[in-house]
Amino acid sequence: MIRFNVPPCTGRELENIKKSIESMHICGDGEFTRKCSAWLEEITGTAKCLLTTSCTHALEMAALLCGLKEGDEVIVPSYTFVSTADAFVLRGARAVFVDIRPDTMNIDETLIEAAITEKTRAIFLVHYAGVACEMDTIMDIARRHDLKVVEDAAQAIMCSYKGRPLGTIGDFGCLSFHETKNFSMGEGGALLIRDPACIEEAEILREKGTDRSKYYRGQVDKYRWMNYGSSYLPSDMNAAYLYSQFEMAEEINRTRLARWNQYWELLLPLQQAGKAELPVIPGDCVHNGHMFYIKTGDPEERGRLIDFLKEKGIMAVFHYIPLHSAPAGLKFGRFFGEDRHTTRESERLLRLPMFYQLTKEEVAYIAGAVREFYGM
């Protein structure tokens, strides 16, 4: 059976975890957390990166740092993972779901402005499959309407838009190191902070409302309760696992892109014959091979293809059920305008196995099976 996902593992993880244990600092903000944050700051050029316990928690921190509260409205795509909306719904803000573009599956930037009301405070967007949203347009709208922008860049590490790393363009960027992502620590994430003026508040929020981060750096002689907060910092043992992959980041990224490109070449004939559609990567975007999907003719065909692949020992899966039609979506938000693409496109999309350890031979086998299904 070819699994849909295998957690990334380079073989060096145990060695780093052992070092973490021997350092006798296994709680948060030890040597490996510092190394991971420094590496992320270097590759993204952001003012500050804070490692977190998940992308969900990084998004929650972003919602708190944006000052979102009861009665505020946040513009968000409906085609996303629940955490994007949970983050601000927890603060009492309401979701205004905007339709997606059928090509990239990202929020349709041309619909955002009309969805703004006097209650709108922020835009939470998602770079689906590591392919950037149309950021110039979105940042221009945000500037003109004084809105915060939070990038759910859970899938978008090492991706860029017009040369700018994703997660660094809006006010806050949130990365995920869940086991399904390109780089993992089991559960984990990171918050990228663009404005240096927000760093201190973020550090306090992450450390139970205390200035312990300053204390660790020797900037104060005791730490105190400064503000509300929670515990958003991961164990250094988990960071040790993650750092093993950062040490091989180029190799992991190159391998994933090679598998992605191989899928693309082998499946292109299906698109040319009008049988299925392949992902669209706009010219301004560099992606990271996070996900390879195809779009089938309709949901019924997708169901048959999933069954066909399962018989061949291949696990292929669909993705998000649109949030606006889910029970919580109905309770916490509303869809702006017409749902032209969100439901329709989500019901056609099928993700094929994609992970670092996937081999060329496996990709050839999977693509062959998909072509066989379509009689090609």
- 322 binds ligand PLP per the rule CB under 6 A: no
Beta-bridged to residue 107, according to DSSP, are 100
As a whole number of angstroms, the distance between CA 100 and CA 295 comes to 15
Kindly state the DSSP code that residue 248 receives in the 8-state scheme.
T
- 184 binds ligand PLP per the rule CB under 6 A: no
For the residues of 170-227, what is the DSSP string, one character each? Answer: SSEEEEE-STTSSS--SS-EEEEES-GGGHHHHHHHHBTTB-HHHHHTTSSSS--B-S
Query: What sign does the CA torsion over 327, 330, 332, 338 have?
Result: positive
101/212 with CB nearer ligand PLP: 101
154/204 with CB nearer ligand PLP: 154
- 178 binds ligand PLP per the rule CB under 6 A: yes
Backbone angles phi, psi at 317, to 5 degrees: -135, 155
- 290 binds ligand PLP per the rule CB under 6 A: no
CB 12 to ligand PLP: min, Å: 22
- 152 binds ligand PLP per the rule CB under 6 A: yes
Kindly state the DSSP code that residue 148 receives in the 8-state scheme.
E
Angle between the N-to-C axes of helices 236-246 and 249-272, in degrees from 0 to 180, rounded to the nearest 10: 60
232/263 with CB nearer ligand PLP: 232
Point out which span in 76-84, 134-142, 205-213, 342-350 binds ligand PLP (CB under 6 A): 76-84
- 81 binds ligand PLP per the rule CB under 6 A: yes
How many other CB atoms are there within 10 angstroms of residue 301's CB atom? 17
Residue type, 255: T
155/253 with CB nearer ligand PLP: 155
Angle (nearest 5°) at CA 340 between 335 and 342: 70
As a whole number of angstroms, the distance between CA 179 and CA 46 comes to 24
- 287 binds ligand PLP per the rule CB under 6 A: no
Looking at 51, 66, 98, 126, which residue binds ligand PLP (CB under 6 A)?
Answer: 126
> Three-class SS of residue 66?
coil
Looking at 20, 33, 78, 155, which residue binds ligand PLP (CB under 6 A)?
Answer: 155
- 79 binds ligand PLP per the rule CB under 6 A: no
Looking at 44, 84, 235, 244, which residue binds ligand PLP (CB under 6 A)?
Answer: 84
16/83 with CB nearer ligand PLP: 83
CB 82 to ligand PLP: min, Å: 8
Point out which span in 10-18, 54-62, 269-277, 338-346 binds ligand PLP (CB under 6 A): 54-62
What is the token pair recorded at 33?
A: 């957390």
| H or E element that contains 138 | helix 135-145
Looking at 154, 166, 242, 291, which residue binds ligand PLP (CB under 6 A)?
Answer: 154
Q: Which residues contact residue 225 at a Cβ distance below 8 angstroms, ignoring those fewer than 6 apart?
A: 208, 209, 210
81/183 with CB nearer ligand PLP: 81
- 76 binds ligand PLP per the rule CB under 6 A: no
83/244 with CB nearer ligand PLP: 83
As a whole number of angstroms, the distance between CA 62 and CA 148 comes to 10
- 80 binds ligand PLP per the rule CB under 6 A: yes
16/84 with CB nearer ligand PLP: 84
As a whole number of angstroms, the distance between CA 310 and CA 328 comes to 32
- 55 binds ligand PLP per the rule CB under 6 A: yes
- 235 binds ligand PLP per the rule CB under 6 A: no
* Footprint on this chain of ligand PLP (rule: CB under 6 A): 54-56, 80-81, 83-84, 126, 152, 154-155, 176, 178, 189
